[in-house]
Amino acid sequence: MRHLRFLLLCLLAAGAARAQPGPPRRTYCNPLNLDYGYTPIPNFSTAGRHRATADPVITLFKGTYYLFSTNQRGYWHSKDLYDWQFIERTFIPPGLKTYDDLCAPAVCAVGDTLLVFGSTQEKNFPLWMSTDPLHNQWKHAVYPFQVGAWDPDFFLDTDGKLYLYWGSSNTYPLYGQQISRKTFQPIGEKKEMFGLNDKQFGWQRFGEYLDNTFLDPFMEGAWMTKHAGKYYLQYGAPGTEFSGYADGVQVADQPLGPFVPQPHNPFAYKPGGFARGAGHGNTFQDVWGSYWHLSTMVVAVKNNFERRLGLWPAGFDADGVLYTDTDFGDYPHYLPTGPADHLKSTFTGWMLLNYQKPVRASSTLGGYAPNLAVDESIKTYWSAATGGPGEWFQTDLGRVSTVRAVQINYADQDAQFLGKQLGIYHQYKLLYSLDGQKWQMLVDKSRNKTDVPHDYIELPQAVQARYLKLENVHMPTGKFALSGLRVFGSAGGPKPAAVREFVVLRTEHDKRSAWLKWAPASDAYAYNIRIGIAPNKLYHSILVHSQTDYYFKGMDKDLPYYFTIEAVNEAGTGPATKVQDAP
């Protein structure tokens, strides 16, 4: 009996152990919270010094992720796609006079070596190599590299052959060429890959409103991915300064073509929400083999080239269609903990709780009003009169809500820095309250020594709060200014009802474009539109706020499209409307 009792206790203990929940999945929120450098180009900052980077690449090399992007005077590394550590390194050779330090870099793992090459129109730049980038050990693979390539991309095929793709122009196409693995010299002549066709593809039209004013569209940012024996050559268009900046793709049976457009295009697209744009990036696999897409997001306030970085789940569906999931793409999403099917959303379901809600501030600089920090636009911001300690910003959620995460997006008002800065930091206190009178500490970073321009804080435990207050302790430069203090969680209560009277108007006049209209809903602060080339391939997602129509101008004029819409409020999303077609 004693042995039986002991066995029963062991079984109960084992069951209890199995019942214990594992560690929660970590989350992240776009734009990525990196210590972005400031533009190093004086002529690009005449309207104000500001942070800027773009044209990113993440490469998994020897179990570590390496992130390179434009003009950072170094690169980042990470083990988990969340905590990124910066390594300072200039890749400009002595005597070469340029502001661009690895502009739109190419990064490629070839065996036990990482290759890095920056954009140049001349034959004056080295191809760098490292077997130990974690410890900043680099040397020249060849100097100078004999292909003058802007926006380059190296691709190592499964047969061991190495290729280079490049191009950045509103006149010329992308180019491709084989490169010798032994000498790194070009083999044969460069070959034209393909160009843009904005008369066919509406999303390729130049301009914020895709109206082709001022300039012809730009094609840039080549990136090659091989999947199931097919070659997917990706590219950015129509201009990096626009909300519709996106990545398209063409597919071939051979690495140098001929290529044909994938029907689902662009495959990375985010023209709505707080931070917009999903162009000129790269597609990579994580340690479990799941695909992700890294890309450029647009600010373009102080200069057209004021930009940030975003990370999105991606993959290939059963038909070999390359897609990127930007649905609620600047809300909290789960990071990977194992192999994943990215056709299943990684969105946490934590909703924005303070869109256009009442705010207060310690002071205001000119027209940079407090409400601009809760209007869901990275292009607008509130600024305090100073950058001194004690300046504060307060947001009212409207009712007691469950708060799970906060994203603090600083704005560059009267910043003084030019180029990459090391050793700078933000310090603050984030407090919460049920009544606006009695405050408790939520996050204390008054001793923080890191640079966190888009600080995202996932709370270890959810809290009940109605008011949140951000108190400044130290700014690295300039005024205490916020483009967005964004609070995520759930307000409880009912989710919104289904959207009524959703209509899609697409006429023969210009089938690249459609006018979407719907009835306003009093219980919604936003609407999420999903669009695709088939009812089961609604891969585009556009989040719009405080409006009841939308001009979608991104279609292939020869394909039918399918649409649905759902209302969004602080409790969640309502039921999607029945999918309707627009032939």
Question: 205-238 pLDDT, tens per residue?
Answer: 999 999 988 899 999 999 999 999 999 999 999 9
CA distance 216 to 200: 14
Strands of the sheet with 162-166, listed across from one edge: 153-156, 162-166, 175-179, 186-192
Once rounded to an integer, what is the mean pLDDT over residues 236-251?
Answer: 98
Cα Rg for the chain, rounded, in angstroms?
25
β-pair type (186-192, 220-227): unpaired
How is residue 165 written in tokens? 């793709």
pLDDT (average), residues 320-330? 98
Which position has the higher pLDDT, 20 or 178? 178
- pLDDT classification of 23: cutoffs 50, 70, 90: low
Beta bridge partners of 313: 292
CA dist 315 and 381 (Å) reads 35
Q: Please give the C-alpha separations between residue 138 and each of 9, 129, 440, in angstroms, as whole numbers.
A: 59, 6, 49
DSSP class of 219: B
Helix, strand, or coil (residue 410): strand
pLDDT at 7 over 60: no
pLDDT at 493 over 80: yes
Confidence of residue 59 (pLDDT cuts 50, 70, 90): very high
Task: Give the pLDDT mean for 287-315.
Answer: 98
Cβ count near 16 (within 10 Å): 9
Cα 260 to Cα 252: distance, rounded to the nearest angstrom: 7
Among positive and negative, which fits the CA dihedral 368, 370, 374, 375?
A: negative
Closest C-alpha to 182, from 252, 110, 118: 110
Strands (E), 45-152: 57-61, 64-68, 74-78, 85-88, 106-110, 113-117, 127-132, 137-142
d(CA 278, CA 293): 9
Q: Kindly list the structural domains of the chain, giving each domain's residue range(s) and its CATH number in brackets, ordered by start.
A: 37-334 (2.115.10.20), 354-490 (2.60.120.260), 500-582 (2.60.40.10)
At 230, give phi and psi (nearest 5°): -105, 150
Tell how far CA 127 is from the center of its chain: 28
Q: What is the pTM of this model?
A: 0.94
| Cα distance between residue 500 and residue 482, in whole Å | 35
Contact in structure between 393 and 469 (CB atoms under 8 Å): yes
Predicted confidence (pLDDT) per residue in 394-443, tens digit: 999 999 999 999 999 999 999 999 999 999 999 999 999 999 999 999 99
pLDDT for 380 beyond 80: yes
Q: Are 191 and 257 in contact (CB under 8 A)?
A: yes
pLDDT tens digits, 69-105: 999 999 999 999 999 999 999 999 888 888 888 999 9
Q: Do strands 526-532 and 392-410 pair parallel, antiparallel, or not at all (unpaired)? A: unpaired
Cβ atoms of 238 and 271 within 8 Å: the answer is no
SS (H, E, C) 111-128: CCEEEEECCCCCCCCCEE
Mean pLDDT within 111-134: 95
Distances in whole angstroms, Cα of residue 101 to Cα of each of 45, 51, 166, 310, 418: 17, 15, 18, 21, 13
Q: Write out pLDDT tens, residues 137-148.
A: 999 999 999 998
Q: Which pLDDT value is given to residue 180?
A: 97
Q: Please give the mean pLDDT across all residues of the chain.
A: 95
% the chain with pLDDT above 90: 92
Res 221: pLDDT: 98
Residue 424's Cα: distance from chain center in Å?
24
Kind of pairing, strands 137-142 and 127-132?
A: antiparallel
Backbone φ and ψ for 464, nearest 5 degrees, come out as: -95, 125
The predicted pLDDT at position 582 comes to 96
Give pLDDT, residue 267.
98
pLDDT tens digits for 450-489?
999 999 999 999 999 999 999 999 999 999 999 999 999 9
> What is the C-alpha separation between 451 and 417, in angstroms, rounded?
13
Would the pLDDT of 561 be above 60? yes
Q: Which residues, in sequence order, are bridge partners of residue 403?
A: 463, 489
Distance of CA 457 to the CA centre of its chain: 17
Tell me if 125 sits within 8 A of 164, measured CB to CB: no
Give yes or no for residue 14 having a pLDDT over 60.
no
Residue bearing the bigger pLDDT, 527 or 124: 527
Q: pLDDT tier at 8 (50, 70, 90 boundaries)?
A: very low
Q: What is the pLDDT of residue 575?
A: 98
Beta strands in 419-525 (DSSP E): 427-433, 439-445, 454-474, 481-490, 503-505, 514-517
Largest Cα separation within the chain, whole Å, is 89
Angle in degrees, CA 353, 359, 364, rounded to 5: 140
